[in-house]
Structure 1
């Protein structure tokens, strides 16, 4: 493993540990009742994010979502719970399955309860993971707005990064024939463009919305030409 990758993984381990400690607080600090070590949980998650079937939903995506949450953190009611939601939101990911978010939420429920989080914290993280099915948080769901905006921030990237993203998504669905992929992808893009807004936090709505729509419209036009 290269030194930059080792350093990146070490940084992620530290981020997970710091977040888990922050959410857990003083729980499990009583003498004779130590809280579980965060390290095995971080290792399990990083192993999942490095699975070979992933091309876009990788450690790089996890890192980007966490970084975007940091940008939007002031909008969240509890940014550390949102960060845990990011760690688990694609922890289970098989491109040919439709229940990835539900299975990821159930993993969060099991792991975080075992790791010493309160029942309410576990429930909130699992709720956030399930919300990434639709990326449609309620107007008063500040935690959900931050996670959804951070997860979709790639849509507002520069042209080179957006092209790399779409290529990686195509690679993940390499088992799907070209015509079927273009049809399905075009349908998803059209659904996104039909939404009244892609982003919900004030910062993302101001900084990312227009660029994201331009990227989506350009990709949809390219796909549509391919289907003609």
Structure 2
């Protein structure tokens, strides 16, 4: 199955508005300027995961938030080690490398997961609030999940969490956030925000926006 141009544009615009709200909230929290790219929208099967992601074998931190209610799916935030470390510094004000070096590796990982959890709640709230405002559907946040593994593995885990099977089709929406201060200009800091609603959910979303 494929999306029509109107359906793709609608999902892209919803994601663009949502990512903008999330970027603004994170910027205020981190006291940094943040920008985002134009979201990418596609329809894929679970077995095609290697075709749509970059560096599938890279170790990746993942935070996932279930979408429940009239629309079901999952919202993800994916960060590499460098991104997780950078965000942890800004969000906890541990700005110096030596601040983190005083911590054990286990404490550092716990800190990064704590930051991830806070970020996914902010991002998830932005996306769900935007969807509710635009579609008037009843949509709520569900359980959260955290993991660190190869990117392909964490996405596979998230797809299964969204109810996918090896042959089912899912809508894959990806956005990226960047720091825009002088030192880290155009450097990806938070990685990818991925939204995965089941393909069938598109009809509810389209009906909600009047298409």
Q: Shorter-chain TM-score: which interval?
A: under 0.3
Higher strand content, 1 or 2? 2
TM-score by length of 1: 0.26
TM-score by length of 2: 0.27
Higher helix content, 1 or 2? 1
